[in-house]
Amino acid sequence: MKKIYFAFLGLLLLLAFPVKGQVIDYYRLQSEGKVPKDFLTTSSEDYERFTDRTFSEDDKRNVVKHKEKFLAKSNWQLNKLLRSGIIVYNDTITNYVRDVADVVLADFPEIRDNIRFYTATHYSVNAFSTDAGIIIFNTGLIAQLENEAQLAYVIAHEVVHYIKKHSIKGYIEEQLFAEQLENVEAYAKDKHLYLAKNSRSREMEFEADEVGFEKFFATTDYSRDAVMGVMDVLQYSYLPLNEIKFAPSILTNNYFSIPDEFLLEQVSTISVGDDYDEDLSTHPSVRKRRTSLERKIRNESSVDNTKRDFIVSEERFNNVRKIARYETIRRLMISRNYPRAIYDAFIILQRDPNNAYMQKVIAGSLYGAAIYKSNYSDNPIVGDYEDIEGESQQVYYLLDELPEVWTNVIALQYAWRLHNLYPDDRYLNTIIDHLMYNMIDEHNMHLDEFYPEPKEVYLAQKDSLINPDESEEEKEEIGSKYDRIRKKNKISHLTHGEEEYRFAFVDMLKEQDFVDKYEEVEEEVEEISEEEKVSYENIKERIDKEEDDGKYENYGYRVGVDRAIILDPLFLHINQKKDEE
């Protein structure tokens, strides 16, 4: 059943939150209204459409060849991206970005008419432009911005990449560099040319910074402080939404806690982040970009301290950023970055402790971690916790160090607590079923393995069990010799922190619904186990027969599947033949 339940995991995380009829305060970001033309044309049509503005009579033959390849590749990749499902249009975020762009490009109507904005539901802090005039903002970037003026500067920066045709220029220069050597493989190994290529790429970034500020941003009434604020966002883009000490107690209840052995004594400090070797990077260091922009701001003749952080709407910005943060966290869950999703949800819960969506994010992430650890215990859930800086490292370390059964118990008791708040929620009910199944099937943990009373009750019994001065009535109350032996063995676990999870269900064991549900799943596990045993015997019989027939030596073992259906989620058939007269 491992593979079956793990296959359901990805499906559930993808579908859980958008389903209506659940107790949540957020639905995923979705496209609205009429489908833009960019989503309807084929890459070959786009190729023809952009040919006139791409080629020049002065182009040499090899440049023409590279431009043709660029158009073919870039249009196909862009087409694929637009149809991938992560790009949305006419949504709340995109509409707001368009309105801010109207302010930034108010004096440049021709440029504004040629640019289309869309939003990518992705957690990375990034925005990018294409030579086709499409500029895409990731929700991860919007989630980190502090005000509208910062968004305006990023728009100005990306517009320069578009009008200067940096994408195609960078591609052609890279290809021309490669031609200076015998082949691309040798080019990749030649550090001199590699550094020269990156140097040119960094020049384009400086140009986008400086021209974006001088030509577009400086013509607006947005605060110039926003430019340095954007540099802060870029420098610390790898960090979560905020930097607050994580409280592991939010994952447990009043009857058990996470032992110190599963927690870091001290998290890694946050590095400055701008001291890397930029020779090996396509982007200049943030420090150099700051210095360059600071000179531009100082040299501006009309510096006005009355410039504003918001022109379109502060209320709309706050709403858009909230949506971007929710969407970014949703994407972190889907990408199996459970520690970061938990930490970002924890950040939001500090201000909004009754936020049902963020509570469910934590429940879903704990569930995902529990199922993953049970199936892939030898592999870390996501990366190496030592690579993480700041307070979120505590969560990465915790999920890495927690034993499988601990993770399952924490996930189940957390989900059940939410179930008591939202009893009709389908998502919570589903993951509770899976966690109970996993607890029984993978860890052989039944309800009698857990303590029905708080730790203090058993500690008091421990004292009386070893007290020679107890009265006859007290001795009788404690029970027979064999009862005392069993209690001593059970109480011995109390001195070991790794066994404290056995107190996780103290309250739940008093709830008949919980007990009935657990026992129902136990029966299901037993029935399925019998079915799997029969299935295993049938498979073994088939394998033995194939070995006897000599089929294994020629073809290997069959997987037991007679037919397979392959589904392609995107299939386009374009008939470009002209009608014959």
**Does 122 have pLDDT greater than 80?**
yes
**Residue 46 host element (H or E):** helix 43-54
Left if phi > 0, otherwise alpha if psi is -120 to 50, otherwise beta: which for 9? alpha
Band of pLDDT at residue 17, cut at 50, 70 and 90:
very low
- Give mean pLDDT, residues 236-259: 94
Measured CA to CA, the distance from residue 327 to residue 423 in angstroms comes to: 25
Band of pLDDT at residue 468, cut at 50, 70 and 90:
very low
Q: Please report how the helices 356-375 and 2-15 are oriented relative to each other, as an axis angle in degrees rounded to 10.
A: 160
Selected residue with higher pLDDT from 480 and 22: 480
Pair 261, 497: CB distance under 8 Å: yes
Measured CA to CA, the distance from residue 119 to residue 135 in angstroms comes to: 9
Selected residue with higher pLDDT from 276 and 228: 228
Residue with tokens 């910005």: 317
**Mean pLDDT across the chain, nearest whole number?**
82
What are the CA-CA distances from residue 416 to residues 24, 402, 410, 510 (Å)? 16, 20, 10, 13
- Give mean pLDDT, residues 415-429: 94
- Give mean pLDDT, residues 78-100: 95
**Residue 431, token pair as written in the block:** 């993951």
Name the β-bridge partners of 222: 308
Cα atoms found within 13 Å of the Cα of residue 89, Cβ hemisphere only: 17
Give me the pLDDT at residue 542, please: 63
**Residue 409, token pair as written in the block:** 């118990």
Selected residue with higher pLDDT from 561 and 510: 510
Give me the pLDDT at residue 97, please: 98
Q: Is 310 helix (H, G, I), strand (E, B) or coil?
A: coil
Give me the pLDDT at residue 11, please: 42
Give me the pLDDT at residue 274, please: 58
Q: What is the pLDDT of residues 25-76, one digit of tens each?
A: 688 899 999 999 999 988 778 777 776 666 666 767 777 787 788 888 888 8
Measured CA to CA, the distance from residue 145 to residue 134 in angstroms comes to: 21
Buried b (16+ CB within 10 A) or exposed e, 365-384: bbbbbbbbbbbeeeeebbee
Selected residue with higher pLDDT from 2 and 358: 358
Q: What is the pLDDT of residues 182-211, one digit of tens each?
A: 555 555 555 544 444 455 678 889 999 999
Band of pLDDT at residue 507, cut at 50, 70 and 90:
very high
Selected residue with higher pLDDT from 179 and 183: 179
Share of the chain above pLDDT 90, in %: 53
Pair 427, 19: CB distance under 8 Å: yes
Give me the pLDDT at residue 365, please: 95
Count CB atoms within 10 A of the CB of residue 388: 23
State phi, psi for 62 to the nearest 5 degrees: -70, -30
Measured CA to CA, the distance from residue 429 to residue 415 in angstroms comes to: 8
- Give mean pLDDT, residues 295-302: 76
* SS3 per-residue string spanning 98-162: HHHHHHHCCCCHHHHHCCEEEEECCCCCCEEECCCCEEEEEHHHHHHCCCHHHHHHHHHHHHHHH
Cα atoms found within 13 Å of the Cα of residue 452, Cβ hemisphere only: 9
pTM of the model: 0.82
Band of pLDDT at residue 567, cut at 50, 70 and 90:
low
Q: What is the pLDDT of residues 264-282, one digit of tens each?
A: 999 999 987 655 555 545 5
**Does 472 have pLDDT greater than 90?**
no
Left if phi > 0, otherwise alpha if psi is -120 to 50, otherwise beta: which for 267? beta
Selected residue with higher pLDDT from 395 and 52: 395
Rg (CA), the chain: 30
Measured CA to CA, the distance from residue 228 to residue 574 in angstroms comes to: 48
